[in-house]
Structure 1
Amino acid sequence: MQTKKSILNMFRTAWGGRRIRGRLLGFIQCKNVHLTGINIENPSCWTVHMIYCDTVTTHGVSIKSRGIDNGDGWDPDSSRNLMIFDTTFDTGDDCIAIKSGKNPDGNRVNIPTENVRIFDLNMLGGHGMAIGSEQSGGVKGVYMRDCVIQNTKYGLELKAHNSRGGYIEDLLMVDCVIDRFMAHSVTYNADGIPAPTLPYFKGITIKNTVIDGAGRAVELIGFTHDGEEHVKDYYVQDVLLENIILGNENDDIKEIFLKACNQITFKNVRLRNGKKTTYTTNKDTVFGVQIID
């Protein structure tokens, strides 16, 4: 007779193991959800996942998943009118990961995530704040203010795979402290029939913010087909960084790296000691960069 453990192991083997793990709190096609006043710990995978939802408010919550594989904290997915504030994260993966459908299913259903308000958060570990990589239906209208994203792996990260399509558009971050800012492609979530077009990221503004983590401060790398380096529609484009402080008191240099970018503006971007920073570009695929002191 098979034991419960052997049956579970059989299903894990048959269905790809780690992919069958459930979410701790899952909201599906829900409206007017208010999540507050609780501590949430140790999920088997993502901690809070809402999909095809409308109007979800989260505040006064602590989310801990350190050491959990794919232990995301708060994952809105193909949903709209979302707000989170007064919440602390210490996670095993992305603290927040805004999504809009996974791979071919995301392309088929094609429901974007829209109108997300994020403020007064402390992200104290894990990978940081992410949009993607599952963003095949698109993400639009994300506003962040007064957030601390420190001791994380990536800081603020916008990410997608070339084959998944979708978009990230209209992101505003104001008055935050973050480790890094990255917008680029990743190598995972690429399975299944590819989308007909590349992804694109555009309309990104970061103001009055400190970027003080280790390593490269900013990395913007758009999407290109092999052998087609000048399809600007899929570049990272229309980006403004204004009143930005880079590094800490001991940093004499912080790198900003650009590739496959169009219409990028840096206005009053300085090291903490007041010196100018360095910009590294791939000159064949970077257009319209303005540096305004």
Structure 2
Amino acid sequence: MTLNRKKEEILRQITVPVFPNRHFDVTEFGADASGKADSTASIQQAIDEAYQAGGGTAILPKGVFRSGALRLKSNVELHIEQGAAIKFSQNPNDYLPVVLTRFEGVELYNYSPLIYAYEAENIALTGKGTLDGQGDEEHWWPWKRGTNGQPSQEKDRDALFEMAERNVPVEERRFGKGHYLRPNFIQPYRCQNILIKDVTVLNSPMWQVHPVLCENVTVDGVKVVGHGPNTDGVNPESCKNVVIKHCHFDNGDDCIAVKSGRNADGRRINIPAENIIIENNEMKDGHGGVTIGSEISGGVKNIFAEGNLMDSPNLDRALRIKTNSVRGGILKNIYFHKNVVKSLKREVIAIDMEYEEGDAGNFKPVVRDIEVDQLKSTGGQYGIRVLAYDHSPVTGLKVTDSKIDGVEIPMELKNVKDPVFLNLYINGKRYDSSEQ
């Protein structure tokens, strides 16, 4: 099967949910469009009424609405009209009770994501309005390192990871109040048939759009902006059949990061990220444009990134693959085609098995069949940088019909077996493995 046919087959499996023609205006349930009063209960009531009616659309009209945690229900669309905004509470207590979620690839019970769904199907978050998580240097973000006199997440993070390594039952991994693990913004968990379209997402406490263990996900025309710590844009984790298209990213971490669980917990669940299409997006600031990992212990396969534009001196890498022998995982069939990089800071193509812990574990990562074609790039430190293990070299790396200009170092290849370069130009020099 050709790559285009494989991609088209994946797209045919992804359908956008359709909702009954029933509308539930949140102001009719008491929501305050002036932004003065808390509207959590009223917005949730509109969602619940739509659900109980057999499906429909809960609508936020023009105005500012203040809210705590919201939960989407099956067959319900939450529509944020142009000129409408939800400003989410900066009080952690407004994200209780705890829910089943993941923190950096590990399951636990923690503060609810700002917008959450669990085992729902046919759900949507749409409209030209704004979702503002209100993370800032005084709220949520200081928990990363304990700045501004606030506690750090370090103790809780270490405790969670240690629980996972000991296989402590998830029911006993209870955090939330009195703990300091930040929630993510939008998280459907074990859901099917999801649409997130046109909304603007700002300033999440942590990862911004984070579907977990979901199938059939469309993220279309979303603007994701946030420069706090770990404010990744879209992170499909252990998801199948996903399309991310026509989005704008300007983030404090990876723009898009494909994940599948961390270490022992990722291997316990053992569900890969697969059949993910990333096309026609614009990426500004971030650690990576299209990133695979590092929480990738469940593996990944069939990633298509095509027609994306990356342009920022604060974008570290264009294509980034990161794992190690603590994470493990099989990473294969990653296709990076017809992408344009107008500026960036570090590596254009980076495959890194020395990420964080390096070769300190017993779970050999496998990275194979990475194809880059028709890439045009300007700027950066490295053109292609691969740091792999001698006991697990990268195989099937192929870079063709591409032009990489303005890099300080054309290539650093550590443990790459039989790479294929064809009509590849770096800083004007041709690299053609068939002629070597």
The answer to whether residue 201 in structure 2 is matched with residue 35 in structure 1 is no
1:241 equivalent to 2:396? Answer: no
The Cα of 1:290 is off from its aligned counterpart by 2.4
Q: 2:262 matched to which residue of 1?
A: 102
Instruction: For 1:271 and 1:216, locate their aligned partners in 2 and report how far apart those are by CA, in whole Å.
Output: 10
Amino acid in the other structure paired with 1:45:
M
Q: Amino acid of the residue matched to residue 167 of structure 1?
A: I
Quick one: structure 1 residues 256 and 28, their matched pair in 2 at CA, closer, same or farther if it must change by over 3 Å? same
Q: CA, structure 1 residues 211+291, in 2 after alignment: closer, same or farther (shift >3 Å)?
A: farther
SS of equivalent residue, structure 1 residue 50: coil
2:305 to 134, 144, 152: 144
Change in Cα spacing, 1:13 to 1:75, as seen in structure 2 (3 Å) is closer
Q: Is the 8 A contact 1:181 1:211 kept in 2?
A: no
In the alignment, residue 43 of structure 1 is paired with which amino acid?
S
* 2:323 equivalent in structure 1: 160
Per-residue displacement from partner, 1:72-113 (whole Å, max 9, x unpaired)?
000000110000100000000000000001221001111101
2:336 to 173, 188, 199: 173
Q: Name 2:379's counterpart in structure 1.
A: 213
Equivalent in the alignment of 1:226: none
- Name the residue aligned to 1:64: 225
1:184 paired with 2:352, answer yes
Measured against aligned partners, the alpha-carbon deviations of 1:50-88 in whole angstroms (never above 9, x if no partner) come to 11100000111100012x101100000011000010000
State the one-letter code of the partner of 1:206: V
Say which SS state the counterpart of residue 217 (structure 1) adopts.
strand
Work out which structure has the larger RCO, using CA pairs closer than 8 Å and 6 or more positions apart in sequence. 1
> Kindly tell me: are residues 262 and 88 of structure 1, through their superposed partners in 2, closer, same or farther at Cα, counting changes over 3 Å?
same
Whether 2:15 is the aligned partner of 1:15: answer no
Structure with bigger helix share is 2
User: Counterparts of 2:307 and 2:156 in 1: how far apart (Å)?
Assistant: 41
Partner Cα distance (2:154, 2:322) in 1: 29
How much has 1:276 moved relative to structure 2?
Answer: 3.2
SS at match of 1:45: coil
Counterpart residue type for residue 239 of structure 1: L
The structure with the largest strand share of the pair is 1
Q: Which of residues 208, 227, 240 in structure 2 aligns to 1:47?
A: 208
**1:141-171 CA distance string (max 9 Å, x none):** 0011100123211221000022221021001
Matches of 1:57 and 1:127, distance apart in 2: 23
Partner residue in 1 for 2:12: none
Q: Give the conservation status (yes or no) of the 8 Å contact 1:174–1:206.
A: yes
More displaced stretch, 120-129 vs 15-24: 15-24
Q: Describe the SS at the equivalent of 1:49.
A: coil
Q: Structure 2 counterpart of 1:240, which letter?
A: K
For residues 136 and 215 of structure 1, the distance between their equivalents in structure 2, rounded to whole angstroms, comes to 29
Superposed displacement of residue 186, structure 1: 3.8
Residue 15 of structure 1 aligns to a residue whose secondary structure is: helix
User: Hey, what does 1:269 align to over in structure 2?
Assistant: 424
| DSSP-derived class of the 1:74 partner | coil
Q: Which amino acid aligns with 2:333?
A: D
- The SS at the match of 2:278 is strand
Per-residue Cα deviation, 1:221-259 (whole angstroms, up to 9, x for no partner): 212xxxxx4x3xx211111100110114xx6x6411111
Q: Distance in 1 between matches of 2:151 and 2:252?
A: 26
Question: What letter is aligned with 1:182?
Answer: A
User: 1:12 Cα shift?
Assistant: 4.8
In the TM superposition, what is the alpha-carbon distance from 1:200 to its structure 2 partner? Answer: 1.3
- Give the partner amino acid of 2:214: C
| 8 Å Cα contact 2:334-2:369 kept in structure 1 | yes
Q: CA deviation at 1:216?
A: 1.1
Partner SS for 2:418: strand
Give 1:85-100 correspondences, 5 Å limit.
85-100=245-260
Counterpart Cα distance in 2 of 1:91 and 1:167: 27
CA distance in 1, matches of 2:250, 2:291: 14
In structure 1, list runs of 5 or more residues that go unmatched: 224-228, 278-288
How far apart are residue 292 of structure 1 and its match? 4.7
